[in-house]
Homo-oligomer: A and B are copies of this chain.
Amino acid sequence: KGGKLLILPGDHIGPEVVHEALQILDIIEESTGAKFEREFDLCGGCSLDKHKDSVTEAVLKKSEEVDAVFFGSAGGPEWGHSQPNPESGLLRIRLRMQIFANLRPCNFVSKSLVHRSPIKEEIIKGVDFMLIRENCGGAYYGNKIEEEDYGCDPWEYKRSEIERVARVAGALAMQHDPPLPVWSADKANVLASSRVWRRIVHEIFDKEFPKVNLRDQLADSLAMLLITKPTAFNGIIVTDNTFGDILSDESGGLTGSLGLLPSASLAGAPAAPGTEPTQGRNNAGGVRGLYEPVHGSAPDISGKGLANPAAQVLSLAMMLRYSFNMHREADLVEEAVARVLNSKEDGGLEVRTGDLGGKAGTKEISEAIQGEVRRL
B224 and A139 form a contact (CB under 8 A)? no
Pick from A151, A156, A195 the residue with the most CB of B within 10 Å: A151
A250 and B250 form a contact (CB under 8 A)? yes
A192 and B146 form a contact (CB under 8 A)? yes
**What is the CB-to-nearest-CB distance from A91 to chain B, in angstroms, rounded to a whole number?**
7
Q: Does A228 contact B (CB under 8 A)?
A: yes
- A247 surroundings in chain B (CB, below 8 A): 223, 246
B196 and A151 form a contact (CB under 8 A)? yes
B197 and A151 form a contact (CB under 8 A)? yes
A91 and B190 form a contact (CB under 8 A)? yes
**What is the CB-to-nearest-CB distance from A196 to chain B, in angstroms, rounded to a whole number?**
3
Q: Does A27 contact B (CB under 8 A)?
A: no
**What is the CB-to-nearest-CB distance from A87 to chain B, in angstroms, rounded to a whole number?**
5
B146 and A152 form a contact (CB under 8 A)? no
B151 and A195 form a contact (CB under 8 A)? yes
Q: What is A's interface to B at a CB cutoff of 8 Å?
A: 85, 87-88, 91, 118-120, 123, 139-140, 144-159, 187, 189-197, 200, 219-221, 223-228, 242-243, 245-250, 252-254, 256, 258
Of the A-B pairs whose beta carbons lie under 8 Å apart in the complex, a sample of 7, sorted by A's number, is A85-B189, A149-B158, A151-B156, A151-B196, A227-B250, A242-B242, A246-B246
A195 and B146 form a contact (CB under 8 A)? yes
- A196 surroundings in chain B (CB, below 8 A): 146-147, 149-151
Contact of A151 among B149, B150, B189, B191 (CB under 8 A): B191
- A242 surroundings in chain B (CB, below 8 A): 242
* Chain A binding surface SS class: helix
**What is the CB-to-nearest-CB distance from A184 to chain B, in angstroms, rounded to a whole number?**
14
Residue of B nearest to A139 (CB): B155
- A120 surroundings in chain B (CB, below 8 A): 118-120
Residue of B nearest to A196 (CB): B151
- A123 surroundings in chain B (CB, below 8 A): 118
B152 and A156 form a contact (CB under 8 A)? yes
Pick from A118, A119, A254 the residue with the most CB of B within 10 Å: A118
Known contacts A187-B245, A228-B118, A250-B250; decide if A192 and B145 are in contact (CB<8 Å).
Answer: yes
Cα(A247)–Cα(B219), bound, Å: 10
A140 and B191 form a contact (CB under 8 A)? yes
Residue of B nearest to A147 (CB): B196
Residue of B nearest to A158 (CB): B150
Known contacts A123-B118, A246-B220, A258-B224; decide if A153 and B155 are in contact (CB<8 Å).
Answer: yes
- A187 surroundings in chain B (CB, below 8 A): 140, 245
Residue of B nearest to A244 (CB): B220
Known contacts A118-B119, A155-B152, A155-B153; decide if A189 and B87 are in contact (CB<8 Å).
Answer: yes
**What is the CB-to-nearest-CB distance from A181 to chain B, in angstroms, rounded to a whole number?**
20
- A153 surroundings in chain B (CB, below 8 A): 154-156, 191-193
Contact of A224 among B91, B228, B250 (CB under 8 A): B250
- A253 surroundings in chain B (CB, below 8 A): 223-228
**What is the CB-to-nearest-CB distance from A325 to chain B, in angstroms, rounded to a whole number?**
31
B228 and A256 form a contact (CB under 8 A)? yes
B224 and A152 form a contact (CB under 8 A)? no
- A159 surroundings in chain B (CB, below 8 A): 148-150
**What is the CB-to-nearest-CB distance from A295 to chain B, in angstroms, rounded to a whole number?**
10
A157 and B146 form a contact (CB under 8 A)? no
A221 and B243 form a contact (CB under 8 A)? no
Cα(A248)–Cα(B242), bound, Å: 16
- A119 surroundings in chain B (CB, below 8 A): 118-120, 227
